[in-house]
Amino acid sequence: MDERRKPYPFDEFEPKWQAIWEERQLFHAPNPGEKGFDPSKSKFYVLDMFPYPSGAGLHVGHPEGYTATDIIARYKRLRGFNVLHPMGWDAFGLPAEQYAIKSGQHPAITTRENVAKFKNQLKRIGFSYDWQREINTTDPRYYKWTQWIFLQIYNSWFNPATNKAEPISTYRGKNPDEVRLAYVAEVPVNWCPELGTDRFQDRQKRPKNPGFYHTSRHALRRNVPGAGAGAFACRSNCD
C-alpha cells in the first residue's frame, strides 16, 4: 500500500501521547506564584459550555463544538499565550432528579458514575483541558458561591441616583422588598404536575421531544429577578 494511503494508527499514537500530556501536565495553566507561571505571557481564556453528564455518555454534538474551541486553545498556546481551558459538569437538574426517582438510585451515585464516563470519553478524544480546574456544579465548594451570589442580589437594590447597586440597608423607602434586585412574588408559570415544578416556555413548544411534559398555567410564589439585576452585574460595588 502507498505510504500516503496508510490508515492513521490512532490506537498506537493517541494513547502514547495522551499519557505523556497527562504525565507532564502540558495543558495546566499555573496561577501567579506557581511553578511555571510566566507573567510576560498574555492570558487567553477558552470556556466551553459544560455538559450535563447523562448515563448515555457523549453524543456527536459535544465533540463537534469542543473540537472548535480546542483548536483555538492549541493555536493560542503555540502563539505564546497562557491559555486557561477548563472543563466541568452542569450536573444539577431535572434529568438527574427524574432518573433517581425512576431507578431508585441516589442521584449522587449516578452523577458520579456518569461524570467518570464523560471524563474518560473526553480524555480519549484528546482535548487539551486543564483537568486540575475541573468544576462540578453538585460540589458544595462550587454551589456555595452561586448561593452567595444570590444573597448579594437579594440584599441589594439599584440606586438610580448613584447608578449602581447598593446594600438594601441604604434604601430609605417604605417597602424595601419592592426594590430588591431579587424578590419573592406570585407569578404565572408553566406548572408540570408530573415533574412537580415549573418549566421554561421554550420547552412547551416541542411536544414530539422525548423530554416533553404537559403543563398548565398556574400562579406560583417564587424568586424573581428585579428590574435592576442587569445593572447589578455590571456596576455592583460588592467585593
Domains of the chain: 3-136 (3.40.50.620), 147-235 (no CATH)
User: What is the pLDDT confidence band of residue 234, given thresholds at 50, 70 and 90?
Assistant: very low
Q: Rounded to whole angstroms, what are the CA distances from 145 to 150, 151, 234?
A: 9, 10, 18
* pLDDT for residue 235 is more than 60: no
- Alpha carbon distance 77, 93 (integer Å): 35
For residue 184, give the C-alpha cell.
Answer: 419573592
pLDDT at 217: 56
3-state secondary structure of 164: strand
- What's the CA gap between 99 and 106, in Å, rounded? 9
Q: What is the pLDDT of residues 107-155, one digit of tens each?
A: 899 999 999 999 999 999 999 999 999 999 999 999 999 999 999 999 9
The mean pLDDT value for 198-210 works out to 54
Which letter does DSSP use for residue 136 in this model?
Answer: E
In 3-state terms, what secondary structure has residue 213? coil
Whole-number Å distance between alpha carbons of 45 and 65: 16
Q: φ, ψ for residue 205 (rounded to 5)?
A: -100, 5
Nearest in space to 155 (alpha carbons), one of 183, 174, 175: 183
Residue 237: pLDDT band (50, 70, 90) is very low
d(CA 130, CA 26): 8
Q: Which whole-number Å values give the CA distances from 165 to 187, 207, 226, in the listed order?
A: 24, 41, 12
Grid coordinates representing 39 are 507573567
User: 3-state DSSP call for residue 114?
Assistant: helix
Give the pLDDT score at 17.
95
Longest CA span, the chain: 85
4 pLDDT tier (thresholds 50, 70, 90) = confident
Which residues, listed in sequence order, are joined to residue 21 by a DSSP beta bridge? none
pLDDT in tens, 65-89: 999 999 999 999 999 999 999 999 9
Closest CA to 87 of 113, 63, 54: 63
Helices 94-103 and 107-125: crossing angle, nearest 10°?
Answer: 120
